[in-house]
């Protein structure tokens, strides 16, 4: 199919958020733009992956993010050593540990929140569709 997934999030502080996501998720800076019709942004991810993050800031009409406790990005990391390292990276990057709204995530991993309220779950398990 050749599809590529973009996960876009408006943020209140582009540089702070970009650095947090880069460090916490071990993403690379894939690209950036400035004042594109009033928007600044960065693209983060892993080269050759079929997805990337785009964080944006609107210069003229800043958006105030309003994620809920169930707006989640979930990363599945089955290896305990790698999972612990990923959790340590999130904390070192400035993400705040949060209690999951859904107890399923609390039992299976750790939830982190960025300053805009977006949540990321680092689950210690293999992904399964069932």
pLDDT of residue 61: 86
pLDDT of residue 93: 98
Task: Write the pLDDT tens digit of every residue in 10-20.
Answer: 999 999 999 99
- Tell me if the pTM is above 0.95: no
102 vs 29, 49, 96, 99, 118, CA distance in Å?
32, 29, 17, 9, 15
Token look-up 């612990």 returns: 84
């Amino acid at each position: 199919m050749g599809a590529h997934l973009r996960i876009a999030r408006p943020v209140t502080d582009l540089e702070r958020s970009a650095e947090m996501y880069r460090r916490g998720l071990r993403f690379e800076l894939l690209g950036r733009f400035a004042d594109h019709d009033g928007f600044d942004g960065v693209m983060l991810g892993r080269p050759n992956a079929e997805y990337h993050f785009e964080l944006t800031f609107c210069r003229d009409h800043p958006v105030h993010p309003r994620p809920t406790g169930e707006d989640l990005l979930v990363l599945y990391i089955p290896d305990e050593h790698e999972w612990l390292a990923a959790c340590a990276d999130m904390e070192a990057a400035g993400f705040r540990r949060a209690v999951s709204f859904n107890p399923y995530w609390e039992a299976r991993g750790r939830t982190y929140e960025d300053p805009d309220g977006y949540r990321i779950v680092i689950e210690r398990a293999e992904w399964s569709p069932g």
